[in-house]
Amino acid sequence: MRRSFRNILRLIRIARVLARHDALFLIDLLGLGPWPRRIARVVMGSPRAKSKGLRKGQRVAAALQELGPSFIKFGQTWSTRGDFVGKKVAADLAELRDRLPPFPTSEARATIESQLGQPLGEIFSSFDDAPVAAASIAQVHFAVTNDGEEVAVKVLRPGIEAAFARDLDLYMWLAKIANRTHPQAARLKPIEIVENFSRLVDLEMDLRYEAAAASEVLQNFEDDPCFVAPEVDWVRTSRRVLTTARVHGVSLANREDLLAAGIDPKIVVANLLRAFLTQVFHDGFFHADLHPGNLFADPDGNILAVDFGIMGRLDLQSRTFLAELLLAFINRDYRRAAEVHFDAGYIPRGQPLDTFAQALRSIGEPIFGLPANEISIGNLLAHLLQTTEKFEMPTQPQLLLLQKTMVVAEGVARTLDPEVIFWDAAKPVIEDWMRKMMGPIARIREITREGESLFRRLPGLAEKVEIALAEIARDGVKLHPDTVRNIAGYKTGNWLPERILLWGSVAVAVVLGLVFFL
């Protein structure tokens, strides 16, 4: 009861904040019709006078900033989707990326000294008091180590854990209510979605996990300069402090800045999309916060990425599903696209395959009727979600983060190069991965792994055989009476087929042993 009362008060506060900033139109996103907004307007009162002169996007940004870190992340995501929310609103929401009010530098210094156990002067030879970026979770200061290395120092906001815990409690409370009262909630899996978000937040609140993620990505791309992660200074890193090499590049937030630096935006976009797709399909580990504030370009157009707090992982089954699905849509093979859903178990077997294929055609054909540079992966995913709902496809929580990241990456790409064709970037990467994973060499590799697994189990099997032989030597072989009668029958009857079966099995076992171990 206390939890419900607390969260109801929180919802009232959210409505009051939206009303003060004249942003109650966001309630319309819930699809409840005009009456909730009208009621909230009457109950919450008129907006502040200063809000009346602001653009819609500025009012939304101000409201989300006041509501806290999880709401700010919502605004950051939509700041890259000018095609959905409008270019002016997207530009205003972009202010939420790394331009939030910083917390006092004295608190940042105190956190660093407490976490690293030394006075700041013994850790860095110089430390810039003015933060270079202030985001919803942390802020970043430039510094120089006592070894003369230029670094970026990320420090968590004080009290950020409690702020997120409050929001997560509200989301889980709402998810459980939706699960009980909404007939479609089971398919959408709201509780699992909130749980996944909570796990991501837990990882993001410990900067050592971000350091490990950056290190892993750097290793994955050690032979490919198109996507570079900064090296981690592990000595100066802890749970609330992360120190990495300073990145020198041009931000992807402004196309004109790239042009002024002599960097071709088309090359930047090509590298961004290829790197993202490589992370998704080849590595199964991808940067899931690809907004422009986290991306820079070097003079050659390679991507220099920062902020590895939000990462996504996909297992082989999910990657195979996505690859086959996208290739089916690229080739306009809608029956195959339908079969992929059924093979993955995402669509219940009772649903008609041909009808589902027809529904997928209704998604693909209108999109492919557009000019190639106007085809949006975001629109495809949105239509696919609406269609699969009719065929009782449960929400796949492991794919939601990828869907969101794809939408953001496409938004960044189109901002820099309006003529970019996502499918042209995707097809060669996916086809190359499919050849490696599904071709003959991959099959041989799979057989080899299975053989190695069997070989590792041999000592245990030998030990069990030795124990069994010792028991036989001690107690003799005890046979069931039916078995004794069957053996006696073999002596007088025709037992040639059984002998052939026995020795045939032995021969097969010997051949398999030779294949795996010689």
- Active-site residues, by number, are 289
Question: 40 φ, ψ to 5°?
Answer: -65, -35
Which residue reads 């009290």 in tokens?
A: 159
In total, the chain counts a number of residues equal to 518
Question: 267 φ, ψ to 5°?
Answer: -65, -40
C-alpha closest to that of 29 among 106, 72, 82, 84: 84
- DSSP letter string, 151-212: EEEEEEPTTHHHHHHHHHHHHHHHHHHHHHH-TTHHHH-HHHHHHHHHHHHHHHT-HHHHHH
Which pair of structure tokens corresponds to residue 495?
A: 């037992």
C-alpha closest to that of 160 among 87, 239, 224: 239
Cα(275)–Cα(294) distance, integer angstroms: 14
**Whether 80 contacts 404, CB under 8 Å:** no
Q: Which helix (H) or strand (E) holds 251?
A: strand 250-251
> At 38, which amino acid appears?
R
Which pair of structure tokens corresponds to residue 308?
A: 């590895």
C-alpha closest to that of 304 among 211, 238, 217: 217
Count of H-run helices and E-run strands, the chain:
23, 11
At 67 the three-state DSSP class reads helix
Residue 138 CB coordination number (10 Å): 26
Cα(158)–Cα(108) distance, integer angstroms: 9
* Residues 136/283/218/401 CA torsion (nearest 10 deg): 0
